[in-house]
Structures are given as C-alpha cells and as structure tokens.
C-alpha cells in the first residue's frame, strides 16, 4: 500500500519535472533565436494605450515589410496595451519600450520629467505636435436614439444615464470631460462657474465610472448599461464594426474637442539596444501615405487627409473642433486645474456623492 502510494507520487513528480523541462527548453530556444547573430534582427517594443490594439497590429505588419524592403533588416514587435497612465508608469518603472504611443501628452511628459528617458522637448520632434492621428469624443446611443440625444445639453436631461470611464485613470475620459467643459464654456459665454455646474450635473448622471475606455465600452455594449456612452470616435466606430452590433449608433455632437494622442521614441531605451534608427523610422512611417491610410482604416482621423482615399474620409462626420490649447491653455494647466488631487474633478465627485 505504501509502495503504491509512493509510485503514484512519483508519477505526479515526473509530470511536473517533464512539464518543467518542456517549458525551459522552449524558452531556451526563444532566447537563442532572438539573439542569433547571422541576421541582426531587431525587436521594437511599443507601449500603447487601450484602443489602439487593432491599429498597431496593422501598422506593425506594414512597417515590418517596409523596413525589410528598405534595409534588409528583419523587425518584429513586442506590443503592450494598458491604460495610458498605467503605461507611462510602467515605462518609468522600467518597461523597456522603444516607442510610446499614448493617449495624452502629459503621460509622455511624465516619462521625460521623472525618468529622464527622453528630452523634454520631445513633442516638437515630429509634425503636428507629434500626433500622427487625432480623434474626438462622440456619443454612442441605443438603436433609434430613443432618448433623442443630439447635443451635450441632452446628456443632463432627466432620466439619461451616461457611461464614461474615470478621468483619473483613463485618457479618453479626460478628453470627454474637457469636451463637455469646453462646450459649456462656449454656451455660457466663458462663465467658469456655469461650466463647472454643467460638468457636475453630467457626472451626476454617470452610474458607474469604469477604469478604462474598453471597460466602459463593454459595460455599454455587452452589458447593456446606460443610455449613452461618451467614447473615442475611433473606439465607437471599431466597437460597432468588430462586434457587428446593430443595436447601437453613433451621434456626433456639433462641437467637440480635438483629441491629440502623441507618439515618441524613448531615446534611452531605444539606443540601449541599438534600435534608435528603426524606432524613429517606425514613427515617421505613421506619417507616410501608407501609414495614414492604415490610420484612417482603423477609424482615426489622419493628420494628412490628402494621403487617404476620399471614401475612407466619409466615415468622419463634420464636427466643429476646439483644441485643448485654445480653451484650457494646454495640458499642463488643464491637468493641474482639473485632474490633480484636490482638482475640479475631485470637487465635483465629492459634491455629487454628498447629494446622494
């Protein structure tokens, strides 16, 4: 009996050992192939934000072909997607990203400031404030728009439930917050107090604050919660396409914010593994006709629309844009005033929860 028992134990032990050998020999193979010296193949790590998964999947494939054609060097990608702020934090903590493609410039600013991995004037290095594409904030509503939501004011009507992520953690949510604020300022003759009252009212209509754009999209689309989702335009177009969901439709408000998600090489990481040249070319590629076409295909507004098929441009509705520089005096100021601890957003949240 004891003999049988120890035999059974031996078999389990053997299983564990063989699993271990299999795994470790596999990983050993991985190491040798990536460091093989016959071809100086290169791996670029792109740390990006949440909704760009599909975009960069396509960009990476196209760039790999382009780069091999131009230089004979093979390039592959390690791609990472998390909330924009989380991603910036990871790069600061040592995620070896060669390039970052994030949702807002303060996140890259933070990497430059606290980890000093790139120069502070990074945003001047590429055209269009280092934004190869832009987007905006639109409304996603239920089929047939039963609550008749057409403009920002409709969001605060009685009985309307608004879904948007938490501006503290989500880049897209910050753009949405600022879009609402910008609208209210314009409508109320630049009256700050009235703008704040409007935004406060808006957040009183939000039943759950998700942590990221994708989470909120799923809340709205899959779980069927809420009447309207404040969404990245690209995310809304993609969500409808990807899920084949015909139970929702997009409403583009007459006025919204021009969302500018920037990109940059992380100089120190890229040079540490001799990838500077490829990393720079990768970001340049986003501005090329081929890159711009891929960008438009993935529902981002191209920074060079003349490179893109007219048909593709039709999916973007006409919106009157305001920029963060015009209305808020740039990200630094907007960040400090609205989203820092004890900022306006915190004030609004406290005021709303006190009312409940």
Partner 1 sequence: MELALTTTGFEASNWAHARPRLKAATEEKPWVRLACITVTVLFLALLLFVPLASVFAEAFREGVRVYFASFSDRYAIAAIRLTLLAAAISVPLNTAFGLTAAWAITKFQFRGKSLLITLIDLPFAVSPIVSGLIYVLVFGMQGWVGAWLSEHNIQVIFAVPGIVLATVFVTFPFVARELIPLMQEQGTEEEEAATSLGASGWQTFMKVTLPNVKWALLYGVILANARAMGEFGAVAVVSGHLRGKTNTMPLHVETLYNEYNFVAASAVASLLALLGLVTLAIKSAVEWKVRRDYEAAAVSESS
Q: Which is nearer to partner 1, 79 or 252 (CB)?
A: 79
Based on the number of CB atoms within 10 Å of its own CB, is 58 exposed (0-12), middle (13-18) or buried (19 or more)? middle
Q: Convert the chain into a string of H (helix), E (strand) and C (coil).
A: CHHHHHHHHHHHHHHHHHHHHHHHHHHHHHHHHHCCCCCCCEEEEEEECHHHHHHHHHHHHHHHHHHHHHHCCCEEEEEEECCHHHHHHHHHCCCCCCEEECCCHHHHHHHHHHHCCCCCCHHHCCHHHHCCEEEEEEEEEECCCCCCCCCHHHHHCCCCCEEEECCCCCHHHHHHHHHHHHHHHHHCCCCHHHHHHHHHHHHHCCCCEECCHHHHHHHHHCCCCCCEEEEEHHHHHHHHHHHCCCCEEEECCCEEEEECCCEEECHHHHHHCCCHHHHHHHHHHHHCHHHHHHHHHCCCEECCHHHCCHHHHCCCCCCEEECHHHHHCCHHHHHHHHHCCCCHHHHHHHHHHHHC
Rounded least distance, CB 135 to partner 1, Å: 18
Q: Which is nearer to partner 1, 11 or 313 (CB)?
A: 11
Q: Which is nearer to partner 1, 34 or 340 (CB)?
A: 34
Rounded least distance, CB 324 to partner 1, Å: 27
Q: Which is nearer to partner 1, 17 or 336 (CB)?
A: 17
Rounded least distance, CB 165 to partner 1, Å: 13
Rounded least distance, CB 78 to partner 1, Å: 5
Rounded least distance, CB 183 to partner 1, Å: 30
Q: Which is nearer to partner 1, 13 or 289 (CB)?
A: 13
Rounded least distance, CB 189 to partner 1, Å: 42
Query: Is there a contact between 98 and 275 (Cβ–Cβ < 8 Å)?
Result: yes
Rounded least distance, CB 260 to partner 1, Å: 23
Q: Which is nearer to partner 1, 93 or 121 (CB)?
A: 93
Q: Name the residues that contact partner 1, by CB under 8 A.
A: 1-2, 5-6, 8-9, 12, 16-17, 19-24, 26-27, 45, 47, 50, 53-54, 78-82, 90, 92-96, 114-115, 214, 218, 239, 242-243
Q: Which is nearer to partner 1, 2 or 354 (CB)?
A: 2
Q: Which is nearer to partner 1, 119 or 254 (CB)?
A: 119
Rounded least distance, CB 352 to partner 1, Å: 27
């Amino acid at each position: 009996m004891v003999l049988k028992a120890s035999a059974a134990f031996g078999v389990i032990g053997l299983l564990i050992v063989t699993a271990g050998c299999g795994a470790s020999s596999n990983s050993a193979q991985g190491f040798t192939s990536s460091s093989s010296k016959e071809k100086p193949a290169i791996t670029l790590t792109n740390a990006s934000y949440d909704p760009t998964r599909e975009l960069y999947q396509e960009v990476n494939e196209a760039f790999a072909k382009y780069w091999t054609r131009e230089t004979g060097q093979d390039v592959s990608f390690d791609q990472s997607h998390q909330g924009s702020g989380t991603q910036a934090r990871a790069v600061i903590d040592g995620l070896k990203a060669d390039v970052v493609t994030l949702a807002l410039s303060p996140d890259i600013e933070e990497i430059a400031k606290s980890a000093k991995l790139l120069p502070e004037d990074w945003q001047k290095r590429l055209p269009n404030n280092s934004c190869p594409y832009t987007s905006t904030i639109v409304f996603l509503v239920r089929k047939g728009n039963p609550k008749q939501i057409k403009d920002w004011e409709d969001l605060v009507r009685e009985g309307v439930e608004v879904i948007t992520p938490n501006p503290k953690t989500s880049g897209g949510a910050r753009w949405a917050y600022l879009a609402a604020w910008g609208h209210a300022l314009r409508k109320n003759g630049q009256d700050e107090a009235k703008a704040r009252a409007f935004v406060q009212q808006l957040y009183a209509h939000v039943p759950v604050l998700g942590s990221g754009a994708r989470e909120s999209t799923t809340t709205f689309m899959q779980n069927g919660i809420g009447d309207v989702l404040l969404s990245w335009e690209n995310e809304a177009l993609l969500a409808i396409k990807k899920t084949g969901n015909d139970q929702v439709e997009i409403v583009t408000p007459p006025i919204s914010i021009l969302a500018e998600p920037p990109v940059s090489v992380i100089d120190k990481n890229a040079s540490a593994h001799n990838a500077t040249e490829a990393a720079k070319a990768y970001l340049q590629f986003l501005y090329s006709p081929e890159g711009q076409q891929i960008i438009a295909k993935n529902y981002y507004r191209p920074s060079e629309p003349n490179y893109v098929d007219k048909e593709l441009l039709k999916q973007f509705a006409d919106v009157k844009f305001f920029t963060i520089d015009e209305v808020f005096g740039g990200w630094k100021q907007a960040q400090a005033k609205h989203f820092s601890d004890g900022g306006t957003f915190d004030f609004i949240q406290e005021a709303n929860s006190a009312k409940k």
